[in-house]
Chains A and B, each alone.
Chain A
Amino acid sequence: DGGITQSPKYLFRKEGQNVTLSCEQNLNHDAMYWYRQDPGQGLRLIYYSQIVNDFQKGDIAEGYSVSREKKESFPLTVTSAQKNPTAFYLCASHGTRANYGYTFGSGTRLTVV
């Protein structure tokens, strides 16, 4: 079955540490996205990538970094510079047809301890 896999589902990080969230898709989609969900704030775009080896900052990119070395993979690193990293992180991908919007992964809950 085609889809997006995010891992891990739950992640705990100590303050001052960097942590990387994995996102893999086998849908052959060109575009991939990272969103953050906080209560009462909906989904906010962190970074997106429309092709391999290229990515763009979203609305809240500060304290995050990404890479897109392969079409299938778009990992997100939450750095120690991110002041409030505790959130639910969603990865999504998008094909050439807009009709069905994004396909989302099941998310990663990051908690800073």
Chain B
Amino acid sequence: DQQVKQNSPSLSVQEGRISILNCDYTNSMFDYFLWYKKYPAEGPTFLISISSIKDKNEDGRFTVFLNKSAKHLSLHIVPSQPGDSAVYFCAATLRTGNQFYFGTGTSLTVIP
């Protein structure tokens, strides 16, 4: 059973506009969330994370929002750039655990 879900397999955005990637989870015990970025034929790289004690974390053009009551998190990229075109995975874990649970990924295309 998929505990972390990304319901949009793909997203296209014009350069300079905002990209919003969404992620839902089912396990209310998850207390730490991450976003990874992945280019084809490469391993994912860490992008940004958020702890369940926060509802927002910002790093440059990237902001992650967490809505615990809705079990939903989102990644905002603004402004979007062509180099942001990649597959984005959200992941969730328990701080006391070692295993991360991944969503199915959203392929973002930023159109110049």
Q: Which residues of A contact B (CB under 8 A)?
A: 4, 6, 9, 31, 33, 35, 40-43, 45, 48, 50, 88, 90, 92, 94, 98-107, 109
- Are the C-beta atoms of A41 and B98 separated by less than 8 Å? no
Q: State which residues 98-112 of B face A: CB under 8 Å.
A: 98-100, 102-105
- Are the C-beta atoms of B49 and A100 separated by less than 8 Å? yes
- Are the C-beta atoms of A43 and B93 separated by less than 8 Å? no
Answer whether A104 and B44 are a contact pair too, CB < 8 Å, given A42-B104, A43-B89, A99-B49: yes
- Are the C-beta atoms of A101 and B100 separated by less than 8 Å? yes
Tell me whether B67 is interfacial, beta carbon within 8 Å.
no
Q: State how many angstroms separate the Cβ of A106 from the closest Cβ of chain B.
A: 5
- Are the C-beta atoms of B99 and A45 separated by less than 8 Å? yes
Among A9, A40, A106, point to the contact of B9 (Cβ < 8 A): A40
Chain B count of residues within 8 A CB distance of the other chain: 24
B59 neighbours in A (Cβ, 8 Å): none
Q: Which residues of B contact A (CB under 8 A)?
A: 2, 6, 9, 32, 34, 36, 41-46, 49, 89, 91, 93, 95, 98-100, 102-105
Enumerate the 9 nearest inter-chain pairs by beta-carbon distance, A residue then B residue, closest first: A104-B43, A42-B104, A43-B102, A101-B34, A42-B102, A106-B43, A31-B98, A104-B44, A105-B43
B2 neighbours in A (Cβ, 8 Å): 42
Q: State how many angstroms separate the Cβ of B62 from the closest Cβ of chain A.
A: 15
A88 neighbours in B (Cβ, 8 Å): 41
Q: Please, how many angstroms separate the alpha-carbon atoms of A71 and B14 in the complex?
A: 45
Q: State how many angstroms separate the Cβ of B49 from the closest Cβ of chain A.
A: 6
Q: State how many angstroms separate the Cβ of A99 from the closest Cβ of chain B.
A: 6
Among A41, A43, A48, A98, point to the contact of B32 (Cβ < 8 A): A98
Q: State how many angstroms separate the Cβ of B98 from the closest Cβ of chain A.
A: 5
A40 neighbours in B (Cβ, 8 Å): 9, 104
Among A4, A41, A104, A106, point to the contact of B104 (Cβ < 8 A): A41
Among B9, B36, B103, B105, point to the contact of A101 (Cβ < 8 A): B36
B103 neighbours in A (Cβ, 8 Å): 42
Answer whether A109 and B104 are a contact pair too, CB < 8 Å, given A31-B98, A50-B98, A98-B95: no
